[in-house]
A and B are shown apart, each in its own frame.
Chain A
Amino acid sequence: MRLRAALVRYGSRLLVLVAALGLWQGLSAAGIISGDEFPSMTATARALGDQAGSAALWTAVGQTLAGWGAGLLIGGAAAVALGTLIGLNRFAYRSSIGVIEFFKTIPVVAILPIALVLWGVTLNMKIALVTFAVFWPLVIQVCYGVRSLDPVARDTAAALGVTGPRKFAVVTLPSAAPFIATGLRVSVAVALIVDIVAELIGGGSGLGTRILVAENAGPSQYPAMYAYIVVAGILGVLLAGVFAVAERRLLHWHSAQRADTVAPEPAAVVPVAS
């Protein structure tokens, strides 16, 4: 029964994919989309196949992941650390929330020229932009999580005399964990998007640069360009998938993870930056 359900699910997904690709090819073949403007599905698939065998694609993926990983690590660690500190203290929260919300609204694309002037077209530039994009929304999400202490748990801890660092480790942090997890999950996507956009508009090396070079080489390279775009999307889905699996493993004990409970997933306060 479970096997059948799984087959139906994956079968229907395959069907959707085949239908979408078929539609794409149909539009190209019928001339509704001209090869000068948008490559056909088969040409893109062929380019994808060619690239998959060449070192260039995998090098680019590695370079993109380098910026993604380092920026996510730095921004994520800083956000969890500072978010926790601020969440625990009402004065800190009220003082900083205005500044955090202000910086959160700045699109990374707008500060890219400044980043270029400071770090040039280097891995550091990408890391700085990814850190910036990941930090502000995540710090708010961590604050929110730390402050959303279930009142029953809070009162129980008070009644049992659990205070200070012990209370933090045993009560507050576990209660905040799903919020932090949601925030990190969205940050995984944000970090990848910002990294690719930094490469596309600023330059450097990675998937975004490959897309830029292919685009500048003219219509003959459009299949390669869209092949790289597809790879970027797939990379995002894979990273998010890996993260979701890790989240489920680490937070299996929390009620939000159990399918039979009523608790909704914590609201994702975090936007997608680009």
Chain B
Amino acid sequence: MIIRRPRWGRRVAGACAAIAIAIFAAACGGPAESGSGTSKGPGGVTNLTLGYVPYTDDAALFYAQDGGIFRSHGLNVKFVPQASPVAVEASMASGTEQFGFVTTPVLVNLNSKGAPAKCVSSVDGNQPATAAGDHTVLVAAKGSGIKSIADLKGKNVAEVQLTSLNSLAVQVLAKRAGIDPASIHQIAMPFPQMPAALSQGRVQAAVIVAPFADAALADGATVLTHPNADLFPNGTVTCLDAMGPYLKANPKVASDFRAAMNAAIAYCHGHQSACKATLASHLSLPPAKAAKAALSTNWNPALNPASITLIEGYMKQYGEITSEPAAASMIWKP
């Protein structure tokens, strides 16, 4: 039985189906919506969403919410844990988060590429100036034979990220010690995996923070230096930031945020155990471990532009950025 079907009719139908596929393929190409995530709660409290990277120096930030300090400044902050400051900044671009945790190199990178991120407040104070207060350490593995920075030539060094403060510090320290930074093999790996990598000899050195540093030191690793205290004493190496357009539209929220964080940091300075207790719930740590958590801070919440300029200079020197925006433009001014 011969069934005649109109050929062109079928082709048009087919083209429509194919175009439906095309529309589906292009469906994710829409521009990001902005402004979602901010809302006014009951009693005029502004609801905010903040992306952060879970680690012990967030204690003051957690306390600001849990201890009611944000609320007394008219804010209610929801925390969203993320894997890295890069992921935080990307989410802020989508408009679903208004504030985020950022490290200075990431902040500089963004601004040098045209995205106007600005520091609003410190996380828990600036970088300590002395080794005693600073819990980021450059360690050498047991049996690696490394006694000084100069011995790092040709070795594997683990850092949390290749465009981070830690990797920058290693390069600067290497240059100071007289060796070529490019001769060091920098390997990006999350902090929790560093102690094992050190003890198994896969890397010979690492820049590692508390509490993971404890495990490495227990395995016999030796401390070479405290890179941040060495290079950026009293510097602003992390901060809580927001995007320029949002800050321009919401200056009161920004100033309330800054005031609240400064108050929280001051409180935590005097009441460290109360602050550290927040780590138990937010980081899922046993309370005993939370109480003993190490905080790397000098408790000074004033953002330090000179240190940002210094870090920027190094980043330019090592080819990570091509333009250097002014440090002042990266700190929010009311």
Residues of A within 8 A of B3 (CB): 158, 163
A128 contacts the other chain (CB 8 A) = yes
Interface: A109 (CB within 8 A): no
Known: A118-B28, A121-B96, A216-B191. A92 touches B83 (CB 8 A): no
Contacts of A158 in B (CB 8 A): 1, 3
Q: Is B244 an interface residue (CB 8 A)?
A: no
Neighbour of A89 across the interface among B14, B54, B80, B191, CB < 8 A: B14
Helix, strand, loop or mixed for chain B's interface? helix
- In the complex, whether A234 has a CB less than 8 A from a CB of chain B is no
Do A121 and B82 form a contact, CB below 8 Å, given A91-B15, A203-B87, A219-B195?
yes
Measured CA separation A99–B215 after assembly (Å):
50
Residue from the list A116, A139, A161, A218 in contact with B211, Cβ < 8 A: A218
Whether the Cβ atoms of B54 and A213 lie closer than 8 Å is yes
- Does A251 have its Cβ within 8 Å of any Cβ on chain B? no
Q: How far is the CA of A78 from the CA of B211 in the complex (A)?
A: 47
| Given A82-B17, A120-B97, A203 and B28 contact (CB-CB distance below 8 Å) | no
Task: Mark the stretch among B63-71, B280-288, B295-303, B322-330 that contacts chain A.
Answer: B280-288
A219 contacts which chain B residues (CB < 8 A)? 192, 195, 215
Which interface residue of A36, A92, A95, A117 has the most chain B CB atoms within 10 A? A92
Would you call B162 an interface residue if the criterion is a C-beta within 8 Å of the partner chain's C-beta atoms?
no
* B90 with A113: CB separation less than 8 A: yes
Q: Given A203-B91, A218-B215, verify A91-B20 contact (CB < 8 Å).
A: no
Residue B81 is within 8 A (CB to CB) of chain A in the complex:
yes
Supposing A203-B80, A209-B81 touch, asked if A91 and B10 sit within 8 A by C-beta, the answer is yes
User: Does B13 sit at the interface, judged by CB under 8 A?
Assistant: yes
B30 within 8 A of A: yes
B220-244: which residues lie under 8 A (CB-CB) from chain A?
none
Main secondary structure of the interface of A (DSSP, over half): helix
- Interface pair A82/B20, CB less than 8 Å apart: yes
- B289 pairs with A220, CB closer than 8 A: yes
Q: With the chains together, A75 CA to B24 CA distance in Å?
A: 10
B305 interface residue per 8 A CB criterion: no
B285 A117 Cβ-Cβ under 8 A: no
Distance in angstroms from B89 CB to nearest chain A CB is 9
A85 to B90, CA, bound (A): 37
Chain B CB count within 10 A is highest, among A202, A218, A220, for A218
Bound complex: CA A92 to CA B3 (Å): 20
Q: Decide: A103 near B25, CB < 8 A? Known: A204-B80, A212-B81.
A: yes
> Contact: B17 with A96, CB < 8 Å?
yes
Pick from A95, A116, A135, A139: contact of B90, CB below 8 A: A116
Closest A residue to B210 by CB, please name it. A218
Within 8 A of A (CB), among B73-89: 80-83, 87
Other-chain residue from B37, B87, B212 in contact with A116 (beta carbon distance below 8 A): B87
**Chain B 92-128 interface mask (CB, 8 Å, partner A; 1/0):** 1111110000000000000000000000000000000
**Can you list, as one digit per residue, whether each of A3-25 has a CB less than 8 Å from chain B (1) or not (0)?**
00000000000000000000000
List the B residue with the shortest CB-CB distance to A116. Answer: B90
- State whether B81 touches A92 (Cβ < 8 A): no
Q: Which of B18, B199, B285 has the most CB of A within 10 A?
A: B18
With an 8 A cutoff between CB atoms, is A100 at the interface?
Answer: yes
Known contacts A100-B21, A216-B192, A91 near B14 by CB under 8 Å: yes
A48 beta carbon closer than 8 Å to chain B: no
Q: Are B21 and A99 in contact (CB under 8 A)?
A: yes
Interface flag for A221 (CB, 8 Å): yes
Interface: B55 (CB within 8 A) = yes
Interchain CB contact (< 8 A) of A85 among B20, B96, B195, B219: B20
Cα A229 to Cα B4 with chains together (Å): 58
A90 to B14, CA, bound (A): 7
> Could you say which residues of chain A place their CB within 8 Å of the CB of B95?
120
The residue of chain A having its C-beta at the shortest distance from the C-beta of B1 within the complex is: A158
In the complex the two chains form, what is the Cα distance from A82 to B80 in whole Å? 36
Q: Does B196 contact A (CB under 8 A)?
A: yes
Within 8 A of A (CB), among B1-51: 1, 3, 10-11, 13-18, 20-22, 24-25, 28, 30, 32, 37, 51
**A221 CB contact (under 8 Å) in B94, B191, B195, B285:** B285
Tell me whether A119 is interfacial, beta carbon within 8 Å.
Answer: yes
B190, CB-defined interface residue at 8 Å: yes
29 cross-chain CB contacts under 8 A = A82-B17, A82-B24, A85-B17, A85-B20, A89-B10, A91-B14, A91-B18, A92-B14, A96-B21, A99-B25, A116-B87, A118-B28, A118-B32, A119-B96, A120-B91, A120-B94, A120-B95, A121-B80, A121-B82, A121-B87, A121-B96, A128-B28, A159-B1, A203-B82, A203-B91, A212-B81, A213-B284, A216-B54, A221-B285
The 4 A-B pairs of least Cβ separation, nearest first, read: A120-B96, A92-B14, A91-B14, A203-B82
